[in-house]
A and B are shown apart, each in its own frame.
Chain A
Amino acid sequence: MGVDSTLVEALRRELGSDGVLDRRSQRVPYECDGLAFARQVPELVLLPRDTQQTAAAMRLLHEARVAIVPRGAGTGLSGGATPVEGGVTIGTGRMRSVLHIDALNRWARVQAGVVNADLGHACESHGLFYAPDPSSQKACTVGGNVGENSGGPHCFRYGNTSQHVLGLVIVTPQGEILDLSEPQVDPQGLDLVGLFTGSEGMLGIATEITVRLLPVPEVVETWVALFRSLDAACDATSDLIAARAEPSAIEILDKLTIEAVEQSVLRAGYPQDAEAVMLLELEGSEASVQANAAVIEPLLAVRGAFGLRRARASADRARLWAGRKGAYGAMGRIAPDLYVCDAVVPRRHLRALVRRTTEICSGKGLRIANVFHAGDGNLHPNISYDRRNPEELRRVLEAGDEMMRACIEAGGSLSGEHGIGLEKLSAMPWMFSSEDLAVMCRVREAWDPECRMNPGKLLPIRACMETRMRAPGAT
Chain B
Amino acid sequence: MDNHSLVDYAKSLDCVHCGLCLNSCPTYRITGRESSSPRGRIHLMRSVAEGAIEPDDDFAEEMDFCLLCRNCESVCPSGVRYGAMMEHTRGALEERRQRPWTARLARSIGFGILRDRMALRVTARLARLAEGTGLARLVGAPALPRHAERVLLPTHMPAEGGELARVAMLEGCVMPELLGHVQRATAQVLQRAGCTVQISPMHVCCGSLHAHNGEVKAACELARATIEAYERLTDERGNPLPLIINSAGCGSHIKEFEHLFADDETMAVRARALSGRSFDLSQFLAREPFRSRLMQRLNPKASHQGPYAWDDPCHLCHGQGVRREPRELLQAAVGDGLVPLADPESCCGSAGIYSLLRPRDSQAVLQPRIEALRASGARTLVTSNPGCQMQWEAGIRTAQLDVSVSHLAEVLERASR
A–B contact (CB under 8 angstroms) = yes
- Whether the pair B19, A74 counts as a contact (CB closer than 8 A) is yes
B318 to chain A, nearest CB (A): 10
- Whether the pair B23, A117 counts as a contact (CB closer than 8 A) is yes
Q: Does A229 contact B (CB under 8 A)?
A: no
Residues of chain B in range 211-261 having any CB-CB distance to chain A below 8 Å: none
- Whether the pair B77, A28 counts as a contact (CB closer than 8 A) is no
- Whether the pair A329, B39 counts as a contact (CB closer than 8 A) is no
Q: Which of B19, B35, B39, B79 contacts A25 (CB 8 A)?
A: B35
Measured CA separation A264–B80 after assembly (Å): 10
Q: Which of B18, B32, B40, B79 contacts A333 (CB 8 A)?
A: B79
Closest chain A residue, CB of each to CB of B52: A28
What are the 7 A-B residue pairs with the smallest beta carbon separation, nearest first? A93-B32, A332-B78, A329-B77, A326-B77, A29-B40, A332-B16, A94-B32
Q: Does A4 contact B (CB under 8 A)?
A: no
Stretch of A16-24, A398-406, A419-427 with 4 or more beta carbons under 8 angstroms from chain B: A16-24
- Please tell me the number of chain A residues within 8 Å of chain B, measured between CB atoms: 50
- Whether the pair B32, A264 counts as a contact (CB closer than 8 A) is no
Most buried by B among A73, A96, A118, A266: A73
What are 28 of the A-B contact pairs (CB < 8 Å)? Answer: A18-B31, A25-B35, A25-B44, A28-B43, A29-B34, A29-B35, A29-B44, A30-B34, A34-B18, A73-B22, A91-B32, A93-B32, A94-B32, A136-B20, A139-B19, A139-B20, A265-B76, A265-B77, A326-B77, A328-B18, A329-B16, A329-B20, A329-B78, A330-B77, A330-B78, A330-B79, A332-B15, A337-B16
- Whether the pair B78, A333 counts as a contact (CB closer than 8 A) is yes
Measured CA separation A346–B377 after assembly (Å): 53
Q: Does A47 contact B (CB under 8 A)?
A: yes
Q: Which of A93, A140, A337 contacts B28 (CB 8 A)?
A: A93
B192 to chain A, nearest CB (A): 32
- Please tell me the number of chain B residues within 8 Å of chain A, measured between CB atoms: 40
Q: Give 9 A-B pairs besides A23-B58, A139-B19 with Cβ atoms closer than 8 angstroms.
A: A21-B33, A25-B56, A26-B35, A28-B43, A28-B47, A91-B32, A118-B23, A332-B14, A332-B80
Residues of chain A in range 368-405 having any CB-CB distance to chain B below 8 Å: 386
- Whether the pair A338, B22 counts as a contact (CB closer than 8 A) is no
A333 CB contacts on chain B under 8 angstroms: 14, 78-79
Q: Does B21 contact A (CB under 8 A)?
A: yes
Interface string of A9-47 (1 = CB under 8 A from B): 000000000100101111011111110100000000101
Q: Does A115 contact B (CB under 8 A)?
A: yes
With contact pairs A29-B40, A96-B32, A328-B77 given, residues A24 and B19 touching in the complex (Cβ less than 8 Å): no
Q: Which of A28, A73, A331 contacts B16 (CB 8 A)?
A: A331
A interface with B by C-beta (< 8 Å): 18, 21, 23-26, 28-34, 36, 45, 47, 73-75, 91-96, 113, 115, 117-118, 136, 138-140, 261, 263-266, 326-333, 336-338, 386
- Whether the pair B53, A24 counts as a contact (CB closer than 8 A) is yes
With contact pairs A113-B32, A327-B77, A329-B76 given, residues A28 and B44 touching in the complex (Cβ less than 8 Å): yes
A386 CB contacts on chain B under 8 angstroms: 13
- Whether the pair B20, A326 counts as a contact (CB closer than 8 A) is yes
- Whether the pair A25, B53 counts as a contact (CB closer than 8 A) is yes
Measured CA separation A34–B52 after assembly (Å): 19
B194 to chain A, nearest CB (A): 32
Q: Does B62 contact A (CB under 8 A)?
A: yes
Q: Does B59 contact A (CB under 8 A)?
A: yes
- Whether the pair A29, B43 counts as a contact (CB closer than 8 A) is yes
Measured CA separation A326–B53 after assembly (Å): 30
Number of A-B contacts (CB under 8 A): 128
- Whether the pair B79, A264 counts as a contact (CB closer than 8 A) is yes
Most buried by B among A21, A28, A75, A330: A28
Q: Does B283 contact A (CB under 8 A)?
A: no
Most buried by B among A92, A94, A117: A94
Most buried by B among A32, A47, A261, A265: A265
With contact pairs A25-B62, A330-B77, A333-B78 given, residues A136 and B32 touching in the complex (Cβ less than 8 Å): no
Closest chain B residue, CB of each to CB of A75: B19
Interface string of B73-98 (1 = CB under 8 A from A): 11111111000000000000000000
With contact pairs A94-B32, A332-B18 given, residues A139 and B62 touching in the complex (Cβ less than 8 Å): no
A262 to chain B, nearest CB (A): 12
With contact pairs A73-B22, A138-B20, A329-B76 given, residues A93 and B34 touching in the complex (Cβ less than 8 Å): yes
Measured CA separation A139–B22 after assembly (Å): 6
Measured CA separation A24–B40 after assembly (Å): 13
B17 CB contacts on chain A under 8 angstroms: 32-34, 36
Q: Which of B16, B77, B79 contacts A336 (CB 8 A)?
A: B16
Most buried by A among B20, B35, B77: B77
Closest chain A residue, CB of each to CB of B39: A29
Interface string of B50-77 (1 = CB under 8 A from A): 0011001011001000000000011111
With contact pairs A329-B77, A330-B77, A332-B78 given, residues A93 and B20 touching in the complex (Cβ less than 8 Å): no
B18 CB contacts on chain A under 8 angstroms: 34, 75, 136, 139, 328-329, 332
B391 to chain A, nearest CB (A): 24
Measured CA separation A28–B45 after assembly (Å): 11
Closest chain A residue, CB of each to CB of B343: A121
Most buried by B among A28, A29, A95, A263: A29
B24 CB contacts on chain A under 8 angstroms: 138
- Whether the pair A264, B44 counts as a contact (CB closer than 8 A) is no
B317 to chain A, nearest CB (A): 12
Closest chain A residue, CB of each to CB of B80: A332
Measured CA separation A30–B52 after assembly (Å): 14
B79 CB contacts on chain A under 8 angstroms: 263-265, 330, 332-333
Closest chain B residue, CB of each to CB of A336: B13
A264 CB contacts on chain B under 8 angstroms: 77-79
Measured CA separation A266–B28 after assembly (Å): 23
- Whether the pair A139, B23 counts as a contact (CB closer than 8 A) is yes
A21 CB contacts on chain B under 8 angstroms: 33, 35
Measured CA separation A23–B56 after assembly (Å): 11
Measured CA separation A329–B79 after assembly (Å): 9
A34 CB contacts on chain B under 8 angstroms: 17-19
Most buried by A among B14, B17, B73: B17
A383 to chain B, nearest CB (A): 12
A139 CB contacts on chain B under 8 angstroms: 18-23
Closest chain B residue, CB of each to CB of A37: B17
Measured CA separation A221–B189 after assembly (Å): 43
- Whether the pair B32, A74 counts as a contact (CB closer than 8 A) is no
Measured CA separation A324–B342 after assembly (Å): 25
Measured CA separation A330–B32 after assembly (Å): 25
A117 CB contacts on chain B under 8 angstroms: 23
A31 CB contacts on chain B under 8 angstroms: 43
A211 to chain B, nearest CB (A): 18
A297 to chain B, nearest CB (A): 31
